[in-house]
Structure 1
Amino acid sequence: MVDWKLPREGGCRCGQVRIRVTAPPLVTMACHCTGCQRMSSSAFSLSAAIPADGFAVIQGEPVLGGLRGPQAHHYFCPHCMTWMFTRTEGMDWFVNLRPTMLDDASGFAPFIETWTAEKLPFAETGAVHSYETLPPLDAYEGLMEEYVTWTGR
């Protein structure tokens, strides 16, 4: 079970940009793609898909960084350059929050792991579902329903 007590607040490493989450995640993920490895300087990146109306920047002004293409918009603190969250064009109903930005990231666990085809051999997440690339689009609704059951909500 994963416990998401709400609301939760968080911020970047230096504290200049602060966020508030007032809705539980739709699903949680770990991404093993080489892009996320480079952006996070780690073996994978973590995400919590937060409904857009349950996410707010409450202090500071994040800036675009990382990929700046038409699909993904990665937001960073302009001072410490912490990668905080991502918005995906055409999918503006959720925000992919890096859950380690929360002041209390306890209760977070990735439910899905993606891009395992690019996974570093030692990287283990404990995710319930693994995909070599991304889940098929028609699988997301079922995965989100299963996630709610998995979290005990």
Structure 2
Amino acid sequence: MSDWKLPWDGGCRCGQVRFRVTAAPLLTMACHCRGCQRMSASAYSLSAAIPTDGFAVTQGEPVIGGLHGATRHYFCPHCKSWMFTRPEGLNHFVNVRPTLLDDVSWVAPFIETWTQTRLPGASAGAAHSYEGFPPFEDYPKLVEEYAKRGPRPG
């Protein structure tokens, strides 16, 4: 896994909350759902699914925002940057906003989800697209393919 050039550091816009990634992403994604559009104030949100044991907050205390439901969205308490999400029932990974990494030169979505609510003209250029989320049975082959040909830091 040395081709991933880990660890990676990142943080919120104001720098009060920092994090470290020490495990390669399982996938990178662009989500076009209305919730992500609203939380990111953009056409889609970008995520990197990082194994839980490969992610740590190293400075500051993020707060829960968004809908405050079972899926937890974490934000900087000062600048309100949406930093990462812990999806309900999926404790083996954390969805990190990869645009908050110090080096974003390699960040590109491998899959895009919720294309049924994609805004006109908003394409993420991902290798795989799904109208909703991929079927659970697709994830093992997507993760395997991403491990082989997903973008890497330069």
- State the TM-score, normalized to the length of structure 2: 0.94
Output aligned runs, 1:31-70, within 5 Å. Answer: 31-70=31-70
Gaps of 5+ in 2: none
Give a deviation string over 1:99-127, Cα, whole Å, max 9, x none: 01101111111000000000001111110
Q: Which residue is 2:101 aligned to?
A: 102
**Structure 1's 147 and 23: CA in aligned 2 closer, same or farther, altered over 3 A?**
same
Q: Could you report, residue by residue, the CA deviation over 1:73-108 in whole angstroms, capped at 9, with x for unpaired residues?
A: 000000000000000122111000000110111111
CA contact (8 A) 1:4 1:107 kept: no
- In the alignment, is residue 4 of structure 1 matched against residue 8 of structure 2? no
| One-letter amino acid of the structure 2 residue matched with residue 61 of structure 1 | E
Aligned alpha-carbon RMSD (Å): 1.3
Q: Give the C-alpha shift of residue 152 in structure 1.
A: 7.6
How far apart in 2 are the matches of 1:107 and 1:81?
25
Whole-angstrom distance in 2 between the partners of 1:114 and 1:152: 18
Letter aligned with residue 149 of structure 1:
K
Structure 2 residue aligned with 1:25: 25
| 8 Å Cα contact 2:28/2:108 also seen in 1 | yes
CA distance in 2: counterparts of 1:13 and 1:49, whole angstroms: 20
Corresponding residue of 1:136: 135
Decide whether the 8 Å contact of 2:108 with 2:151 is kept in 1. no
1:104 maps to amino acid: D
Secondary structure of the 2:4 match is coil
Shift in alpha-carbon separation, 1:110–1:152, aligned structure 2, 3 A: closer
Q: What letter is aligned with 1:40? A: S
Q: 1:116 to 1:152 in 2, by over 3 A?
A: closer
CA positional deviation for 1:4: 3.4
| 1:120 and 2:135 matched | no
Relative to the length of structure 1, the TM-score reads 0.94
Stretches (4+) displaced over 4 A: none
Gaps of at least 5 residues in structure 1 are none
**Separation in 2, partners of 1:115, 1:124:** 12
1:31, CA displacement in angstroms?
A: 0.1
Tell me how far 1:5 sits from its aligned partner.
2.1
